[in-house]
């Protein structure tokens, strides 16, 4: 399928395929895919278990440019095995992250200090339910490798997590998503450690009803995550909107970009624990109780507000950055 870059800028990020997202996020005509479908890097496990194969194993990886920045892109396809990470697609993701880090090291060796306007960028578009259960050990290993690389990225390679596709970022991929410098989402974004059905199974329907879509969205959805500070930028649902947000941030000094980080230091762990303590202190029974605590007097209205009205009126958790 021939992709026209200009058309992709206005396309729904939620409806776009992994390849369309990867192609449209970087500058026009610059995306080069690694290990694409022609290379037929498929899972050695799924065929044995009777699963259909895709020749990219449900992930698109490659490199392009944003202005003067070499930009490494990972884009997951949630429509294939729920976007879950296994041996091959996980290795492709880890390989791409490692290339971003190696590029930074080579640039530092050449320039002494890597100029802010030329530093490598890393973009991961999440669309995954977590570990591929068919390949559990290999999938967990790939998650740990990616998180280790993100830790090594600190103060070197700006790392952007994008969330707003069909699945969201769940399970161990929720952890990886939140390891970025900056988390960007649209209204369709969802981030969580455990999916709704599993929560209901473990604690019961009275505690968490997995059929209650409004409950799911106000617990795990991007608007709630934006209020609580887990999502840094809530944007409109187009590939171009995600791209423009990255373009706006790309030339900033690394120290300024890193201020948004949610994980990676004892101080950030303490900051996150403060929210847990607060929820216990105010005896929060619903995310709306926290929304109200942070200054939103009419929390029931927030999920239904038009995007522009929501952004202009919502009150957010202040972060000590």
Kindly report, residue by residue over 109-144, the tens digit of the pLDDT: 988 889 999 999 999 999 998 888 777 788 888 888
Mean pLDDT in residue range 153-163: 95
Q: Which of 5-19, 197-211, 214-228, 299-313 has the lowest mean pLDDT?
A: 197-211
pLDDT tops 80 at residue 2: no
Reported as a pLDDT band with limits 50, 70 and 90, residue 253 is very high
pLDDT at 263: 84
What pLDDT sits at residue 82? Answer: 84
Enumerate residues 6+ apart whose C-beta is below 8 A from 205. none
* pLDDT band at residue 203 under the 50/70/90 scheme: confident
Q: Can you identify the CATH homologous superfamily of domain 5-186+235-261?
A: 2-enoyl-CoA Hydratase; Chain A, domain 1 (3.90.226.10)
Which of 36-45, 134-143, 201-210, 261-270 comes out lowest in average pLDDT? 36-45
Domain boundaries, the chain: 5-186+235-261
pLDDT on residue 225? 96
- Per-residue pLDDT band at 315 (split at 50, 70, 90): very high
Predicted TM-score (pTM) of this structure: 0.93
Tell me the average pLDDT of the chain: 90
pLDDT at residue 7 above 80? yes
């Amino acid at each position: 399928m021939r992709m026209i870059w200009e058309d992709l800028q206005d396309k729904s990020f939620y409806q776009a395929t992994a390849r369309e997202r990867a192609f449209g996020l970087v500058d026009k005509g610059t995306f080069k895919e690694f290990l694409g479908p022609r290379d037929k890097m498929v899972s050695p496990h799924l065929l044995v278990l009777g699963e259909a194969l895709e020749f990219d194993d449900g992930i698109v990886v490659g490199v392009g440019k944003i202005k003067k920045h070499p930009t490494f892109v990972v884009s997951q396809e949630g429509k294939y095995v729920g976007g879950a990470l296994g041996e091959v697609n996980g290795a492709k993701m880890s390989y791409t992250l490692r290339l971003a880090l190696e590029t930074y090291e080579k640039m530092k060796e050449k320039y002494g200090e890597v100029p802010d306007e030329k530093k490598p960028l890393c973009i991961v578009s999440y669309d995954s339910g977590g570990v591929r259960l068919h390949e559990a050990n290999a999938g967990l290993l790939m998650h740990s490798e990616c998180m280790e690389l993100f830790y090594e990225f600190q103060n070197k390679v700006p790392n952007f997590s994008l969330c707003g596709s069909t699945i969201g970022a769940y399970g161990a991929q929720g952890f990886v998503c939140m390891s970025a410098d900056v988390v960007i989402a649209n209204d369709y974004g969802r981030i969580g450690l455990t999916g709704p059905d599993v929560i209901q199974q473990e604690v019961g329907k009275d505690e968490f009803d997995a059929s209650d879509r409004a409950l799911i969205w106000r617990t795990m959805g991007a608007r709630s995550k934006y209020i609580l500070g887990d999502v840094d930028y809530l944007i409109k649902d187009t590939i171009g909107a995600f791209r423009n947000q990255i373009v706006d941030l790309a030339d900033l000094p690394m120290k300024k970009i890193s201020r948004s980080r949610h994980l990676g230091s004892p101080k950030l762990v303490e900051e996150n624990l403060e929210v847990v303590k607060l929820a216990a202190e105010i005896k929060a029974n619903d995310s709306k109780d926290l929304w109200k605590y942070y200054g939103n007097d009419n929390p029931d209205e927030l999920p239904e507000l038009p995007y522009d009205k929501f952004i202009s009126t919502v009150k957010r958790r202040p972060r000590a950055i």
